[in-house]
Amino acid sequence: MGLADQQCIPCRGGVPPLARERIDALLAELEAGWALTAAGHLLRTYEFRDFAAALFFANRVGAIAEQQGHHPDLHVGWGRCGVEIWTHKIDGLTDSDFFLAAKADRAFRAP
């Protein structure tokens, strides 16, 4: 079962963020384009032909986020949509952040 097939698990706090070696291992399982920001968040910017296509994708990711109960920051501009993911409750990364990233990749590939 791949990362995109996993369900996000709500974080109630009190758990440590993932260790760097686990983060690196999970990053390797994601599609190209994901990076770790200086703040320790996952970030990928998807490119589109115009603003409408970027907004459509943002809404698609938003629907997935609502269904999963795990909400990324979305940065929409003309021809691009950035998806920034981290677990706010612990200000770090959990496995669920990688599950959501893989779901965003799947949504990007979907017709």
Instruction: Please give the single-letter amino acid code of residue 76.
Output: V
How far is C-alpha 15 from the geometric centre of its chain's CA atoms? 20
Question: Domain map of the chain by residue range?
Answer: 17-73+82-109
- pLDDT tens for each residue of 19-54: 999 999 999 999 999 999 999 999 999 999 999 999
Pick the CATH number of 17-73+82-109 from 3.60.15.10, 3.30.1360.20, 3.30.70.1070, 3.40.50.720: 3.30.1360.20
List pLDDT tens digits, range 73-97. Answer: 999 999 999 999 999 999 999 999 9
Average pLDDT, the chain: 95
Question: For residue 91, what are its two tokens?
Answer: 């200000």
| pTM for this predicted structure | 0.95
CA distance 109 to 103: 10
pLDDT of 9 higher than 90:
no
The CA distance from 105 to 65, in Å, is 13
